[in-house]
A = this chain, B = another copy of it.
Amino acid sequence: MQETRLDTHRIRAARRVIDPVFLDTPLYRCEALEPDLGCAVSIKLETANPVRSFKGRGTEVVASLLADKGPRAVVCASAGNLGQALAWSGRGRGLDVTVVASRFAPAAKLDRIRALDARLELVDGDFDMARERAAAMARHDGIRLVEDSLDIETCEGAATIGLELVDTGRSFDAVLIALGGGALATGVGHVVKALAPDVEVICVQPLGAPAMTHSWRQRRVVTTDSTDTIADGVAGRCPIPAVLDDLLLVADDAVLVQESSIIAGMRMLLHHAGLVVEPSAALGIAAILEDRDRFAGRHVVTIVCGSNVDVGAYHRWLGTAPA
């Protein structure tokens, strides 16, 4: 494998600064899903922690570095999960955290960011407009900008999931990874390709937010004018060049799935696994549903990466509603 920006030794070191509450998350076969999917499915569950997503792994690394020697004030743009995680990690270390988010982000995510004592600034636009605003604030106020997927610590934190997958010693054939900005995909992908290269690394993105997948396929940054998906956690328009470079080295494939498949995946995870998940966390199941032949008889791990969802929207998507 050509070298990505990541380094396996640094990823192992990252484990030592991450609060254990985010580490060694459940990994288990979910046989109840298997008759409908036609393959063996294991779940890596990243929702049973104080911020209900995998993002705490990365923000712990970011915040521990800043607490040691960096500035005390940080700002990040977030679709909601990074902001919540940075607020959690920053609060514990006395950092002054500002989160910039879209005012269209799920209320559940925005409420939790506020509850964790972060300053929340909303933009009247999407995630990439929040990114622009956060960068402008950092320049103007001279405070530290944390950029998800670009800042290597966010990738290293996510990559610790990969260590946990390969260190179990259990064999699997493919890992399905939600693809948004790319921290999760490049982090986990790096570790898998470095330590278990036979395992297929498959990134999954909604058809309605395909910028990174198109970029991966064309091997150059492709942006889109808008996004149209319920998977708010991965709805970006502007891939980061350095992250794309890493993704090109570690991803075996990047696939796009329909909204209806995401909803079907959420429904299956509820009915057969007892899991409430946010749309981004159902992308892996959606990918299997759209290409059962590809996965038939294989053992697939899907990373259930977040469960921060507005319950009302969740019921609407699944066709349930208050009686």
Contacts and interface: CB of A to CB of B under 8 A. Distances in A.
B315 A320 contact: yes
Interface in A17-33: 21, 24-32
Number of copies: 2
Among A27, A116, A311, chain B packs the most CB atoms within 10 A around the CB of: A311
Contacts of A248: none
A52 interface: yes
A271 interface: yes
A115 B33 CA distance: 12
A45 B48 CA distance: 8
A264 interface: no
Contacts of A52: 274
B45 A28 contact: no
Contacts of A21: 26-28
A262 to B, nearest CB: 17
Given A270-B311, A315-B320, A28 B49 contact: yes
Contacts of A6: none
Interface string A36-77: 000000010101111010000000000000000000000000
A1 interface: no
A20 to B, nearest CB: 9
Given A319-B323, A320-B315, A274 B309 contact: yes
A43 B9 CA distance: 33
Nearest to A274: B307
A115 B45 CA distance: 23
A313 interface: no
Contacts of A308: 274
Contact of A323 (B27, B30, B276, B320): B320
Given A49-B26, A320-B321, A323-B320, A32 B115 contact: yes
Nearest to A26: B48
A238 to B, nearest CB: 29
A45 B319 CA distance: 28
Contacts of A275: 276
A27 B22 CA distance: 10
A303 B307 CA distance: 20
B274 A270 contact: no
B48 A112 contact: no
Among A32, A47, A307, A309, chain B packs the most CB atoms within 10 A around the CB of: A32
Among A48, A50, A316, chain B packs the most CB atoms within 10 A around the CB of: A48
A50 to B, nearest CB: 5
Nearest to A276: B274
A308 B43 CA distance: 17
A31 B115 contact: yes
A159 B247 CA distance: 45
Contact of A50 (B30, B49, B316): B30
The 8 closest A-B pairs by CB, nearest first: A26-B48, A274-B307, A321-B323, A274-B276, A45-B48, A320-B320, A21-B28, A319-B323
5 contacts: A26-B48, A28-B50, A45-B48, A319-B322, A320-B321
